[in-house]
Amino acid sequence: MLSMRLELMLVLAVSGAATGVSTEEAKDAMVALNRAYWDGTRHYFRKTPEADGARLDFWMTAHVWECVMDACERHGAPEFKEQIGQVYDGFLEAHPDWRTNPYNDDVMWWTIAGARASRITGEDRYLTKAKSEFDRVWTQEVNATLNGGMWWRSDSHRSKNACVNGPAVITAMELAWALKDESYAAKARELYAWERATLFDPNTGAVYDNISTRGRVSRRLFTYNQGTFIGAAVRLYRWSGDACYLADANLAADCMRQRLCDPNGILKSEGQGDGGTFKLIGARYLVELAQATQRQDLLDWLGKNAETAWSNRRRSDNIMGFDWSRPVRDDQIIQCQTAAAPVVLLNLLR
């Protein structure tokens, strides 16, 4: 049973709604991203095409690293597989000790990506690092305050946030699969149950941002919180077969369509900076849900978003922007994580 579920977890469906964006165009989008932002000598992504020497931020690099993995799995090109190791080595050179970063969510993004890199490349070093970092954060940052959950920051225990608890569930499930270790699934269930009880509205599918030590819940909605809750629920469903998790994921996805899109159904701009990464995360886990359920309405909706973003790319360099519904102007400076968001969607959809 475990091996069958493992196969289900690791092999996502490759069929789905046609996006109107070809495989060749999806590859072109990744090539364009690398051309604009990748420093192939020093092995890091630049914040902007003009920002020579300015590395992309800690947590954003993890997401663009996964973008490279998407391209590797989609296209099978050896240069993308080689780049997986280059990104990681370049990152470790700049950030050898992750304990210096007080944001626990930043570390969780790297543990998610590391577990995936190990699966793709067969190299244990990524999984070993992912496990040790998750174990460290779990031991130090999960406690009974506010009835459970993981703290957002290690240097200031003032809130427990969706942005760290959802990713921690995803990491725990990745480790459960990779290590065939039920104890990690138990940790995932514990964190998910806390997030669902504390930050999820089961009537609307909204995933709220955080709860403070005073017990106040911030009800702000972001695509990345919705997305990681969906990713967590899908993984727990695949492990357990419990349809309740899938129901939660579908509800959270429907909330995104209703409350975080423009009138034409295109995911709203959340700007650049941190917000430039939000749709990247939301899109990644929406695709997982759509492919796991084969919900045609979700596939069609995501396909429309992919087509719209690609059709509004800047034709001179094939870079897409933060507002997928509008053409990218020639004078706009698009940050790397912002440009990567639609590339993820193009390469994940089939």
What pLDDT was estimated at residue 12? 41
Full 3-state SS string of 316-335: CCCECCCCCCCCCCCCCCCC
Token digits for 42?
A: 């020093």
Q: Tell me the per-residue pLDDT of 89-106, one tens digit each, with 9 for 90 and over.
A: 999 999 999 999 999 999
Q: Is 103 helix (H, G, I), strand (E, B) or coil?
A: strand
Looking at the chain, the whole-number percentage of residues with pLDDT higher than 70 is: 95
Residue 182 is given by DSSP the state H
The overall average pLDDT reported for the chain is: 94
Tens of pLDDT, residue by residue over 176-209, are 999 999 999 999 999 999 999 999 999 999 999 9
* Residue 197 neighbours by CB under 8 Å, 6+ apart: 147
Query: What pTM was estimated for this model as a whole?
Result: 0.95
Q: Please report which confidence band the pLDDT of residue 53 belongs to, taking 50, 70 and 90 as the band edges.
A: confident
- Spatial neighbors of 35 by CB under 8 A, at least 6 apart, are 317
- CB < 8 Å & 24+ apart, contacts of 326-333: 333/48, 333/49, 333/50
Average of pLDDT values for 262-278?
A: 97
Parse the chain into domains and list their residue ranges.
Answer: 2-348
Residue 10: per-residue pLDDT? 41
Contact 306, 344 (CB under 8 A): no
* 33 torsion bin: left (phi>0), alpha (psi -120 to 50), beta (else): alpha
Q: Is the pLDDT of residue 16 over 80?
A: no
70 near 117, Cβ under 8 Å? no
Torsion of CA 24, 30, 32, 35, to 10 degrees: -130
pLDDT for 18 = 53
Instruction: Please tell me which residue, 350 or 303, carries the higher pLDDT value.
Output: 303
Domain 2-348 grouped into CATH 1.50.10.20: yes
